[in-house]
Structure 1
């Protein structure tokens, strides 16, 4: 008799912060953080988040687990949260 082990899944939550707005999307189906900022992914899935500011804003970077302005790669091994900060142009 075959025994199958259920692969665990974990929630990834994207939080948008700052004085302006933008969108965050991922490389897989799921997060399109204009409307959907939380998604469940199977254990060890690598999710690549990309932030795009709106026309009057700038993307100032990631905090909580990622740094800088480049795409944020997240390997899902537990529930995680990533914050993208968008600020108005000055």
Structure 2
């Protein structure tokens, strides 16, 4: 596939980009390099290679969630500017 001015303009239109004429010329060269690189990758024999989902076989090591400090309802509401017995009171944001 060759990249020409019409192809760049079509891609720019699909991406909702406005390009100056000098930018189009630069993109023609850049996109041609990308396609050339992809063609080189297609030459490689990958018949016996498993596809990769992740780059390493490492597993995420995550700590367990542990409750370190528990506070009561009263303590949680203590610093609230406005509250009732159970809830924080905030200004209404959605109007009818």
Instruction: Give TM-score scaled by structure 2 length.
Output: 0.19
Point out the structure with the larger helix share: 2
Higher relative contact order (CA 8 A, sep 6+): 1
Higher strand share: 1
TM-score (normalised: structure 1): 0.19
